[in-house]
Structure 1
């Protein structure tokens, strides 16, 4: 076995192949054997039970192998995100795990994205879709700010997200939480769903981990919470989601927006409370 491209053919049970993976556009595989940078040693298993002396190796076997689903799936923000209005502003929070199938593509990604100086969004769904939507909204809102001569309202940013998500709902997998602070209404949170609906809420949660914490959030949320209390509410909710949801994990990032400005915080390791610690 030398370096070759996989084609249909018969190979002996004892044979092994070095595949030229550039033929498939992949930089690394783990198929029937051992990954070696851009090449893979493939051991022919000889059919059912290893009794057959020959086996039929097809291109589709490579393209559909279960161990390589991460090479074909898009990056997903299998996510836990939330935002909460408190007395004086808003707090956004998110985990940091990005997955591609069952493979963790990034364990410290930042899912809290700036739109204006005091309006940010939390992204869940397809990483590519949500990044593209955020870029479009940031551009259109910056043009709108130049036209009106001041920072746009949080509601305006939320409605721009809604417009793009609704008009492209058949082609997008994106759920957004838009939150921020303006001089007109103070802190606000808007949830933009997968279908493009927009809801103004005192708190919003989204992502794969959110299904585990609806009861916790309903029981522990209080109107008019102070900054510290709201921050602990966000951290505990995200920690619970991360402990239950396999697609959520990594670290917790929070962002506080109020009249004074923006403050980012980062929690990792032992700073993240266990769901069993006195809850």
Structure 2
């Protein structure tokens, strides 16, 4: 039931991926080109995502343009921090806006940091070394997607709480592309 998320921003392309339980997609749209990955309590994380989605919709109507990714991440951070005693959730926000291109933000306990990639969830401790060694600036769309798929596959192989399918959302200036990769289609890094 616990998830693994990895997002990466390379050349204005955002890849957002998550390993989920077999029941719920843990990627949640916050706006047209902004998504978040949910971990922790599913109900708490989904509630935060729904509130931010509503606030961004209202904001974009008021200002007449799409919201910035940083604005979405700031809203997530503010709600998470304000209700830190009541909610058990960690959201990573990723997306594309015309001012700053592709971006990934980690939001945790009042902290908001923009990073080239972010990982979280129960399987993340198994893959930090891999992402540190394999992440490269300047990857193209296919390389970026493969980096994320490989990261998730490694995490799922080690973490007993992760598994099932991987939902992928690739975000760039043209829009979003969603894919589902079944567990038996994910790469393996060991002999079975």
On whether the aligned pair clears a TM of 0.5, the verdict is yes
Structure 1 distance, partners of 2:145, 2:127, is 16
Q: Does residue 94 of structure 1 match 2:8?
A: no
Q: Which runs of no fewer than 5 residues in structure 1 stay unpaired?
A: 1-76, 98-106
**RMSD of the alignment, in Å?**
1.1
Aligned pairs for 1:259-274 within 5 A: 259-274=173-188
Range moving further from structure 2, 184-193 or 140-149: 140-149
Contact residue 163 and residue 183 of structure 2 kept, 8 A:
no
Q: Normalising by the residue count of structure 2, what TM-score does the alignment of the two structures yield?
A: 0.96
2:72 — aligned with what? 157
Q: Normalising by the residue count of structure 1, what TM-score does the alignment of the two structures yield?
A: 0.67
2:124 — aligned with what? 210
Structure 1 distance, partners of 2:51, 2:183, is 35
2:148 — aligned with what? 234
Structure of larger gyration radius: 1
Structure 2 distance, partners of 1:270, 1:171, is 38
Structure 2 distance, partners of 1:134, 1:269, is 26
1:143 — aligned with what? 58
- Higher RCO structure, 1 or 2 (CA under 8 Å, sep 6+): 2
2:87 — aligned with what? 172
Contact residue 45 and residue 89 of structure 2 kept, 8 A:
yes
